[in-house]
Amino acid sequence: MEQTVVSGIAVNRNLAKVSVLGVPHQPGIASHVLRTMADARIDSGAIVQNLGKDGKTDLSFTVHRSDCVRTVELLLDQVLPALGALEVVGDAGVCEVSIVGTGTRSQVGVAGKVFGTLREAGIQAQMISTFEARTSVVIDETQAELAVRSLREAFTLKPQAAQAAQAA
């Protein structure tokens, strides 16, 4: 990449990851889970659904950290028995690190550089989302500073370009 389109790095520490594990793989599962949350006025962020084995799927999503315990309790009470899921787990020890800049999603090589940089730093991405002006990864919160420093170096950004954004 001769001219990178990355202009900064943001960190959101106000997230938690919730996973509904071992759900039967059938249409409407995500809708049921997310509708249950919406009815309780819990907003979800990034959503990942993976087809596991034996006809089961896992659904993970981010919520505001202050909603983590309430979300897990709600899903244990209303979703787990209704859908026959195996488990609901929450993790409030995550954060989202994002590279931002116009066209980051469409610029060839940007995502590969992000994930290669994180791999070299020993950081495992738990969830990934991309938008036109942002590529985000959910990682263990203890690795946030290392991720920011590594990405800043990889994209040759000045320290002030790596802002820690705190969502309210």
Q: 97 and 133: one domain?
A: yes
Residue 1 has pLDDT above 80, yes or no: no
Domains contained in the chain, number: 2
135 lies in the same domain as 156: yes
Q: What is the pLDDT at residue 102?
A: 77
Q: Is residue 141 part of a domain?
A: yes
Same domain, 80 and 100: no
Are residues 114 and 67 part of one domain?
no
Looking at 48, 69, 91, the residue that finishes a domain is 91
Residue 101 lies in a domain: yes
Written as six digits, the tokens of 117 are: 């940089």
Verify that 28 and 48 share a domain, yes or no: yes
Q: For residue 109, give the 3-state DSSP assignment.
A: coil
CB atoms within 10 A of CB 61: 24
Same structural domain for residues 70 and 124? no
Q: CATH number for the domain including 147? A: 3.30.70.260
Considering the domain boundaries, does residue 60 fall inside one? yes
Residue 3 within a domain: no
Query: What range does the domain containing 105 cover?
Result: 8-13+93-161
Domain boundary, last residue among 65, 91, 117 = 91
**What's the pTM?**
0.84
Residue 2 inside a domain? The answer is no
Question: SS3 of 108, please?
Answer: coil
User: Where is the domain boundary, 74, 91, 108?
Assistant: 91
Residue 35 shares a structural domain with residue 82? yes
List phi, psi (to 5°) of 26.
-150, 155
Same domain, 84 and 99: no
Please check whether residues 98 and 157 belong to one and the same domain. yes
Q: What is the rounded CA–CA span in Å between residue 147 and residue 153? A: 10
| Span 41-92, pLDDT tens digits | 999 998 998 877 788 999 999 999 999 999 999 999 999 999 889 999 999 9
pLDDT in tens, 95-128: 999 999 876 666 678 888 999 999 999 999 999 9
Q: Do 84 and 128 lie in a common domain? A: no
DSSP letter, residue 74? H
